[in-house]
Amino acid sequence: MTFFYPVKLIAAVLYPDEELWNWTINALSILWGPPEDASEAFLFAVTEYYADIAPVLYRRFLSFGRMRNGADLPGWKHDSCKVERASGSSRKVNIDPGYVNGARLVLASTKDHAHRVYVGGGIFAEVTLRYRFKRWVSFDYTFPDFTDSRYYAFLSRVRNRWLEERAASKEDAE
């Protein structure tokens, strides 16, 4: 028996310009279908870690339609790494896939750390934010740009769609 853990697939994308943003949307659409929603662009200036991509970067999010199985997180990260490699001789974008459900935002990483859990295939999962008392709450290890509220409107829209789709799937099962 296969267990289905219903989540909404999202991707956090770091990119330097609109051309690469549009290229990334097209590449991810081939893998996961057309995006259901996209966030506005946010200037990303919290670390020099990604300076190899470009001196000025932006972060945007995409969410994808229909419920997905959260157990597929390692495969999504492997897919996103292939897209990163296809972006140029040195990567031109950074893509962190993950998911939103009613309680949390989880992001996948290829890098281990004390707060990440190994989920298989060389991939680690991190609960980046939790939803508690009707708001998004960060942890002491949460990436600095996720600790203020700039992404919360988009994440809340995705969470609300998860709630609606979850309720509809329960009604269909009855």
Q: How far is CA 160 from the centre of its chain?
A: 16
Q: Is the dihedral of CA 94, 20, 100, 75 positive or negative?
A: negative
Q: Is the dihedral of CA 89, 95, 96, 99 positive or negative?
A: negative
Mean pLDDT by 10 residues, the chain (174 residues): 86 97 98 98 86 91 97 98 90 96 97 96 98 97 94 98 91 65
Distance CA 9, CA 67 (A): 8
Q: Could you tell me the two tokens for 66? A: 């229909």
Write down the pLDDT at residue 66.
94
Q: How far is CA 104 from the centre of its chain?
A: 12
The pTM for the full model equals 0.94
Write down the pLDDT at residue 1.
53
Domain ranges across the chain: 6-173
Distance CA 120, CA 70 (A): 13
Is residue 2 exposed (0-12), middle (13-18) or buried (19+ Cβ within 10 Å)?
exposed
Answer yes or no: are the C-beta atoms of 73 and 125 closer than 8 Å. yes
SS3 assignment, position 81:
helix
Write down the pLDDT at residue 15.
96
Write down the pLDDT at residue 90.
84
